[in-house]
């Protein structure tokens, strides 16, 4: 979701940042929008100094992008949301110091990470796979900071509960997995889906440009005027993966996963930061109060005029809040102020 919104942002500024002949750009825009989208992601990873790497473990391959090296400061592991990918975080990484060690991984089955028909894509199943990834690249040689948004926030929270010693601090951005007291527009869609025995289209899995536009309206409070060619390109990029997305969706809305984060909150011991858009129509902002009630020491940052796609709508503010929180936790533990 946020990854698709990021594409829109990239197109908006593309004309002034890419040294591509105007004619070639226009031709690509009109004829091969899906290919152009991939070029944009490649360009921005390169511009931001992110390198794409692979980690293999027992026949399973993880794809991730990273920048910087482990040092005195905690590494940052970033977990994206449902049907997105590692490039979701590009807009946030842009505003983080280049010397920080940042790891953005494709979640199980997503983008470049191995996808199998027998994989467990429940929240607990994804937590186990992410732990396998962390051990494979030896990220847990020292405690690290984990950031997760939406589905990735659910996974990050359960991970912190299950592997307490590995996490020094954490940030959850509009995480699902919480019994929020107020219903959202998406909750109403979900009820309709359940009543239809899931025969209706899933709003988060668009199959037409019109449905893609509807998903943008659902996930973002900011309204974008998106050309038809871009909408079609986004649909084309996602179309081959829709069967997989349906499988994952059914897993994460099922009983074992739907409220996994809330059921594990009492086990979280690491300092916690919660960031939420006040206009979230997917996972209601009232979930922040639910988390704060269980973990009263957590920090809650609510963003005005912002929806579910926080990392796209408020990337600079998000990066600043995460960095401030990490610095605060480091200062609290170390007793000295560190320069970032």
- Active-site residue list: 150, 280, 308
Reported in sequence order, the residue ranges of the chain that DSSP labels E, i.e. its strands, are 51-57, 60-67, 76-79, 102-105, 144-149, 167-173, 272-277, 299-303
Helix axes 209-219, 228-238, angle to 10 degrees: 90
| Distance separating alpha carbons of residues 212 and 197, to the nearest angstrom | 23
Yes or no: say if 163 and 135 are a contact pair by the CB < 8 Å rule. Answer: no
Radius of gyration of the chain (CA): 19
| Distance separating alpha carbons of residues 207 and 238, to the nearest angstrom | 8
Structure-derived torsion over alpha carbons of residues 113, 116, 122, 127, reported in degrees to the nearest 10? -40
- For residue 181, the 8-state DSSP code is S
* Alpha-carbon separation of residue 63 from 16, 55, 113, 184 (angstroms): 30, 7, 5, 33
| Distance separating alpha carbons of residues 74 and 170, to the nearest angstrom | 11
| Residue keyed to tokens 């084309």 | 236
Yes or no: say if 252 and 121 are a contact pair by the CB < 8 Å rule. Answer: yes
Q: Quickly count: other Cβ atoms within 10 Å of residue 140's Cβ.
A: 16
């Amino acid at each position: 979701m946020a990854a698709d919104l990021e594409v829109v942002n990239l197109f908006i500024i593309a004309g002034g940042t890419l040294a591509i002949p105007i004619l070639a750009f226009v031709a690509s825009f009109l004829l091969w929008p899906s290919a152009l989208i991939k070029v944009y992601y490649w360009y921005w990873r390169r511009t931001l100094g992110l390198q794409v790497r692979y980690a293999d473990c027992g026949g399973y391959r993880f794809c991730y992008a990273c920048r910087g090296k482990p040092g005195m400061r905690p590494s940052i592991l970033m977990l994206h949301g449902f049907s997105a990918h590692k490039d979701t975080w590009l807009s946030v990484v842009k505003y983080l110091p280049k010397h920080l060690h940042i790891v953005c991984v494709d979640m199980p089955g997503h983008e470049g990470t191995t996808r199998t028909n027998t994989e467990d894509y429940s929240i607990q199943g994804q937590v186990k796979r992410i732990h396998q990834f962390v051990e494979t690249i030896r990220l847990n040689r020292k405690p690290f900071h984990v950031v997760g948004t939406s589905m990735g926030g659910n996974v990050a929270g359960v991970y912190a509960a299950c592997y307490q010693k590995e996490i020094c601090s954490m940030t959850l951005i509009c995480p699902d997995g919480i019994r929020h007291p107020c219903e959202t527009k998406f909750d109403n869609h979900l009820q309709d889906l359940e009543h239809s025995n899931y025969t209706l289209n899933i709003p988060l899995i668009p199959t037409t440009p019109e449905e893609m536009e509807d998903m943008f309206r659902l996930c973002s409070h900011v309204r974008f005027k998106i050309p038809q060619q871009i909408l079609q390109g986004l649909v084309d990029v996602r179309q081959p993966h829709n069967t997989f997305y349906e499988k994952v969706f059914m897993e994460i809305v099922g009983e074992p996963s739907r409220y996994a984060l809330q059921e594990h909150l009492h086990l979280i011991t690491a300092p916690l930061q919660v960031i939420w858009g006040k206009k979230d129509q997917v996972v209601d902002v009232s979930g922040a109060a639910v988390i704060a009630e269980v973990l009263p020491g957590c920090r809650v940052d609510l963003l005005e005029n912002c929806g579910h796609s926080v990392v796209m709508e408020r990337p600079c503010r998000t990066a600043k809040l995460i960095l401030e929180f990490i610095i605060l936790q480091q200062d609290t533990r170390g007793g000295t102020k560190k320069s970032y």
